[in-house]
Amino acid sequence: MDLFGDDPALAAPQPVAVPEPAAEVARGASTDRADGTHRALYLRWRPTTFSDVVGQEHVTRTLRNAVMRKTLAHAYLFTGPRGTGKTSCARILYRAASCPNAREGDPCNRCPLCVAALEGRAMDLTEIDAASNRGIEDIRDLRDRVAYRPSDGPYRVYIIDEAHELTPAAWDAFLKTLEEPPEHIIFVLATTEAHKVPATIVSRCQRFDFRRIPFEATREQLRRVSEAEGLDVDPQVLERLARVARGGLRDALSLLDQVGAFSGGHVDMDVARAVLGLPAVETVRQCLEALGARDGATLMGLLADVSEGGADLRQFTDELVAQLRALLLVRAGSEAALAAEMASEDVAFLRGQRDAWSIGALLRLVGELSTVLARVRDPQQFQVQVELALLSACVEGEVSVARAMDPPRRAPAGPTAPPRAVTAPPVLSPPGAPVQPVVASRHALADAPAALVPSPGSVGGSFERADPGVGLPATLQPHDAPPGTAAPASVVPGPGAELDLTFIRQRWPDVLEWVCDRKRFVGSLLQTAEPVRLESNGLVVVFSSAFNRKRAESRENRALIEEAFEHAFGRRLALRSTADSTESGAPSLLEDPVIKFAAKTFGGQPRRIEEGEAAF
């Protein structure tokens, strides 16, 4: 005892007891506010130490080591999906860096500084919502305040939430302060869209990418919370809530709070579906089975049951897209990627469905449904678009889209029977009329039905029918030709035969296709050209511009074009090019109907752009 009757041992400062991390899980028992009002589950169960943070070990371990070793950075960038712990980790970082009783990088949460921060009274912790304080004046005010020393601990921490909302001018004003802040300042930028943060800002921060919380970790956390809150929740409900949350623990806790408030005690799947409008898992699986079997009638019946049963069709479609995406991963052999998202029995069901689908069909359906979810807001139109997308997937099982996209088949080499003439007389152009080359893409040819095309080499105007099998699905193929009937083929004149300009113009699309297959750039040059005159061992070609002509006349490109001439015309012709359109006798490009229509629609006056002149 001393002079004043006090025990010196008691007067000495005592270290504050720090609770074990496991004991922190039970803090949910301190349920509501002091005045008895209710607090949301995600607020009561917000992590208070790095040990409490779920699913972000790569972040929490780094920050704890930095706190213990006194190697804190002056700026951090926390990025990732919503509800994964970005703001919570920023608050914990402030307490851990400033707490005098920190142990193993975690704050004690008992000292006056920690208590003030937990109660929102910390003078040295400032949170700024960049969505509403995004201008240059707000950043200038922040720049003036960072000069003040901290009042309680060694650091002042500024948390800028939704940092991607700052304006470009605000980022410019913030750059110098972020680059060389005072030694007592720590900036934490939190964002869900890191690609909108300027690279000059990102390079001055330590970046941490928060991941979606794994399915198993979310389900386990929901189980612990429900037990601590005295809620009797079926395991199937916990699994469904964890799946709907899609890796966001805050969303999962909010859903648990909602179903718990409805039931007041026991929560089963009927309660969850009634409160949240969740479709039954069995219904989603039946839809997948009907899609795999291309059973449109069953599929439409299931959709009607979903609508009449009171389930949210948008929620159902979202769940169906998630299952189709998972099926796509299974079909592609990437089942390991689903371990963090789905239960093992769900993956086993998808494994049984993979043989009914091709990767292309899954890609198309997921893309179409995702587009409907993103763009269609009207409920009635939404249902119509979903039905159309699903029925289209059923039809694709009968009509092969991949076959329709195949390139046209080339005629086999070797002697073939002459083309068969049709009885209808051909339509001949008057003498001297210019013949415009028609350039058709290979995809257009593949999609076109059988049609009559001019037979090369038949100056009299005989026609042949294009290959009827090109671009048609198997169910629409015509009957096989009688035995002994050879397929028509293009006829190339022999070495001694005469060439004429009509034949060259008929074969010009073959020249374009042959060149495009080997060098697309040169093919694009030829698409602006037109054969106008035959000379001795040469072909005069008019280009739309001197620039294109100059490019085509380079040694390598000229050799490629002349080789295409030999392939299409049966003999080698020298390329003789010009940019003078008057030689062709063709109408001016300014008189082209397409250009006239564009000028009339947009109100402009077309004119020719000379070489070297800027287009805009």
pLDDT in the model for residue 493 = 58
CA distance 556 to 433: 34
Domain harbouring 333, CATH code = 1.20.272.10
Residues 202 and 60 in one domain: yes
Q: 78 and 190 share a domain?
A: yes
421 falls within a domain: no
607: CB partners within 8 A, 6+ apart: 590
Q: Quick one: three-class SS letters along 351-377? A: HHHHHHCCHHHHHHHHHHHHHHHHHCC
- Whether residue 60 contacts residue 101, with contact meaning beta carbons closer than 8 Å, is answered with no
Cα distances from 607 to residues 315, 319, 436, 547, 599, in angstroms, run 54, 55, 21, 17, 10
Predicted local distance difference test score (pLDDT) of residue 163: 94
- 3-state secondary structure (DSSP) of residue 338: helix
- Residues 102, 106, 112: CA angle, nearest 5 degrees: 50
More confident site: 5 or 241: 241
- Name the residue with higher pLDDT: 477 or 231: 231
| The pLDDT of residue 578 is above 50 | yes
CA distances from residue 426 to 437, 468, 493 in whole angstroms, order as listed: 18, 21, 21
Q: pLDDT value at position 195? A: 93
Q: How confident is the model at residue 281 (pLDDT cuts 50, 70, 90)?
A: confident
Three-class secondary structure of residue 425 per DSSP: coil
CB 299 within 8 A of CB 287: yes
One domain for residues 235 and 378: no
Specify the range with the lowest mean pLDDT, choosing from 57-66, 110-119, 326-335, 480-489.
480-489
Question: What is the per-residue pLDDT for 494?
Answer: 53
Task: Tell me, yes or no, whether 424 lies in a domain.
Answer: no
Percent of the chain predicted with pLDDT > 70: 71
* Tokens (6 digits) for 224: 């612990």
Task: Report the DSSP pairing between strands 206-209 and 529-535.
Answer: unpaired
Range of weakest confidence among 326-340, 385-399, 490-504: 490-504
Is residue 12 over pLDDT 50? no
Cβ–Cβ under 8 Å, residues 130 and 163: yes
**Integer Cα distance of 16 and 110 in angstroms:** 7
CA-wise closest residue to 538 among 576, 512, 509: 576
Q: Which of 276, 295, 312 is the last residue of a domain?
A: 276
Number of domains in the chain: 5
Residue 129's H or E segment, with its range, is strand 125-129
Q: Do 58 and 188 reside in the same domain of the chain? A: yes
The answer to whether residues 353 and 264 belong to one domain is: no
Under 8 Å between Cβ of 83 and 92: no
Same domain, 307 and 268: no
Which residues sit opposite 578 in a β-bridge? 542
Nearest to 507 by CA among 525, 531, 529, 486: 531
Q: Are residues 446 and 503 in the same domain?
A: no
Q: Does residue 419 form part of some domain?
A: no
Give tens-digit pLDDT for 199-242.
999 999 999 999 999 988 999 999 999 999 888 998 888 988 99
When pLDDT is averaged across residues 74-103 and rounded to a whole number, the result is 94
Q: Are residues 259 and 295 in the same domain?
A: no
Q: Mean pLDDT lowest for which of 78-92, 339-353, 554-568? A: 339-353
Q: How far apart are the first and last CA of the chain?
A: 94
Does 100 map to a domain?
A: yes
605: left (phi over 0), alpha (psi -120 to 50) or beta: beta
Q: How confident is the model at residue 310 (pLDDT cuts 50, 70, 90)?
A: confident
Cα separation, 217 vs 270, whole angstroms: 24
In a domain, 23, yes or no: no
pTM exceeds 0.75, yes or no: no
Same domain, 271 and 229: yes
460 lies in a domain? Answer: yes
Closest CA to 153 of 87, 76, 89, 72: 72
Give the pLDDT confidence score for residue 408 in this predicted structure. Answer: 45
Query: Which domain does 597 fall in, by range?
Result: 499-616
**pLDDT confidence bin for 605, thresholds 50/70/90:** low
The CA radius of gyration of the chain, in Å to the nearest whole number, is 37
Tens of pLDDT, residues 512-545: 888 888 888 888 888 888 888 888 788 888 888 8
504 and 444: one domain?
no
Is 297 strand, coil or helix?
helix
Q: 158 with 44, same domain?
A: yes
DSSP letter (8 states) at residue 430:
P
Cα-based distances in Å from 548 to 284, 404, 440, 566, 577:
57, 34, 20, 22, 10
Report the 10 Å Cβ neighbour count for 166. 28
| Greater pLDDT, 380 or 30 | 380
Query: What 3-state DSSP class applies to 189?
Result: strand
Please give the mean pLDDT across all residues of the chain.
Answer: 77
Side-chain-facing half-sphere of 258: CA atoms under 13 Å: 16
Tracing tokens 């509501």 back to the chain, one arrives at 32
Bigger pLDDT: 366 vs 520: 366
**Which strands make up the sheet holding 206-209, listed edge to edge?**
125-129, 156-161, 185-191, 75-79, 206-209
Which residue matches tokens 């998972």? 326
CA distance linking residue 262 with residue 15, whole number of Å: 45
Name the residue with tokens 């990627």: 337
CATH number, domain of 595, equals 3.30.300.180
Flag whether 525 is in a domain.
yes
- Would the pLDDT of 157 be above 90? yes
Select the more confidently predicted residue: 423 or 130: 130
Residue 44 has pLDDT above 70, yes or no: yes
Cβ neighbours of residue 276 closer than 8 Å, sequence gap 6 or more: 244, 255, 258, 259, 315
- Domain boundary residue among 276, 303, 326? 276
Give dist(CA 384, CA 393) in Å, integer: 14
- Look at the block and give the residue holding tokens 């013949």: 435
Q: How confident is the model at residue 413 (pLDDT cuts 50, 70, 90)?
A: very low
Residue 121 lies in a domain: yes
Q: Which of 226, 278, 222, 279 lies closest to 251, judged by CA?
A: 222
CATH code for the domain of 260: 1.10.8.60
Residues whose CB falls within 8 Å of the CB of residue 511, separated by 6 or more in sequence, listed in order? 526, 561, 564, 565, 567, 568
Strands 185-191 and 206-209 come out as unpaired
Model confidence at 607, in pLDDT bands (50, 70, 90)?
A: low
212 alpha carbon, distance to own chain's centre: 17
User: Are 239 and 295 within one domain?
Assistant: no
Which of these ranges, 28-32, 64-68, 166-170, 485-489, has the smallest mean pLDDT?
Answer: 485-489
**Are 560 and 537 spatial neighbours (Cβ–Cβ below 8 Å)?**
no
